[in-house]
Amino acid sequence: MVKPSEEPGKRQDGKTLKKPSNELACQALFLHAANEGRGSTLFGVNWKETLNRILPFVEDVPFPWLYLEFPLAGDPFLDGCALYGEVAPGTRFRSEAAAGTERMIDWFAQVSAQYNAISFGFELDAGNDASAPAAVHFQHHSHIRLAQEFCDALGEPAAGQLYMKLAACMPEGWAPAFFGMFRGRPGSPLRVCGYLNRNERQRSAEDPSRLEEVFRQVGFRAYDDRMLRQIKTLLAMTPERADFQFDIYPDKRIGDTFAIDICLGLKQSRLQKNSFVNGPCADVMKQLEAWGAADDRWHLVAGTCLTRALPVTDEDDREKAYALTVCPKWVKARWRGGVLQKAKLYCEAKAGIIHGGEGEKQDGPQHAL
């Protein structure tokens, strides 16, 4: 085994390292996030099981957007998510959890060449058996007709019809953009999600009656005045952007769960760390802690931040810059039956050759569940 030298990206013999495999890069990202005691506190003692489950989903594909998903209170655990903006025709994932998605993958490989900013992915729940069907995610943005095609390709046409029904009922400024489907769980809801634009976010933050108006139009009734005040408070504190989530069941009933995701927004490691010490991220965390939706473990989140570029040689022996990044990206506040639940944080992890200008980083698609 080659020992590390004093110069990053160089071997002991002075030669530039080869570009790492996706599997090796994925392991490095998880290990960094869990380093210095963060693993057991943030992710639980079994976090490596999630790593092992996610590894088949990074093989033989462009490196996906990975999300490390963990609660900010209660028993720690680690869920994983892999999202793809492109795959080659015939791509297959070496995991039982992906069984039954082959036709959908081939459909996506074809349509992703025609449309920008669409993505699909797999959500791996630590509470499920490793062989259980993974939940799936699809983000269509403005190309909403693709939602039905995605569900048809999965053999779930009724889910697409359900999604389109709710989409037609959504108020202006609350258009759905992506959804999550819990495969293999009969009777489970379709999780319908979208982004709030700046004007709608400000309007909802300033006027709780706007939220009531939206809830009535959608058919969501599981809220009270306290929940409305909490949503208003968080939307007013949002550093960058936010999204929303509703559940709709196969019988067309709107579930009693509502969530918002707050984008923490910062991309540079130094700024991220500072924001969790004395900035917008810390303010959001302190508010969640005051409500009992988080405890003091959030202080460890800043340590997961990583921005590292290494010189490597690619398959053609050309020297390139290879980036490894971990970014605390979203925090989810969820209400069930009007009661605020434990908050959940989503760290985005990415690896790959840097293209474009120095420091350029493409925003990943949003998680779903």
User: Tens digits of per-residue pLDDT, 80-95?
Assistant: 999 999 999 999 999 9
Across residues 188-202, what is the average pLDDT?
93
Write the CB contacts of 325 (distance below 8 Å, at least 6 apart in sequence): 306, 307, 308, 348, 349, 350, 351, 361
Q: What is the largest CA-CA distance in the chain?
A: 67
Q: What is the separation, in whole angstroms, between the first and last Cα of the chain?
A: 40
SS3 annotation, the chain: CCCECCCCCEECCCCEEECCCHHHHHHHHHHHHHCCCHHHHHHCCCHHHHHHHHHHHCCCCCCCEEEEEEECCCCCCCEEEEEECCCCCCCCCCCHHHCCCHHHHHHHHHHCCCCCCCEEEEEECCCCCCCCCCEEEEECCCCCHHHHHHHHHCCCHHHHHHHHHHHHHCCCCCCEEEEEECCCCCCCCEEEEEEECHHHHHHHHHCHHHHHHHHHHHCCCCCCHHHHHHHHHHHHHCCCCEEEEEEECCCCCEEEEEEEEEECCCCCHHHHHHHHHHCHHHHHHHHHHHCCCCCHHHHHHHHHCEEEEEEEECCCCCEEEEEEEEEEEEEEEEEECCEECCCEEEEEEEEEECCCCCCCCCCCCCCCC
User: Tens digits of per-residue pLDDT, 326-348?
Assistant: 999 999 999 999 999 999 999 99
Q: Are 119 and 84 in contact (CB under 8 A)?
A: yes
User: Tens digits of per-residue pLDDT, 197-245?
Assistant: 889 999 999 998 999 999 999 999 999 999 999 999 999 998 888 999 9
Domain range list for the chain: 17-353
In the structure, what pLDDT confidence band is assigned to residue 13 with cuts at 50, 70 and 90?
A: low
Q: Are 219 and 169 in contact (CB under 8 A)?
A: yes
| Per-residue confidence (pLDDT) for residue 355, from 0 to 100 | 77
Rounded Cα distance between 304 and 34, Å, is 7
User: Tens digits of per-residue pLDDT, 165-174?
Assistant: 999 999 999 9
| Per-residue confidence (pLDDT) for residue 10, from 0 to 100 | 53
User: Tens digits of per-residue pLDDT, 96-148?
Assistant: 999 999 999 999 999 999 998 899 999 999 888 888 999 999 999 899 999 99
Question: Is pTM, for the whole model, over 0.85?
Answer: yes
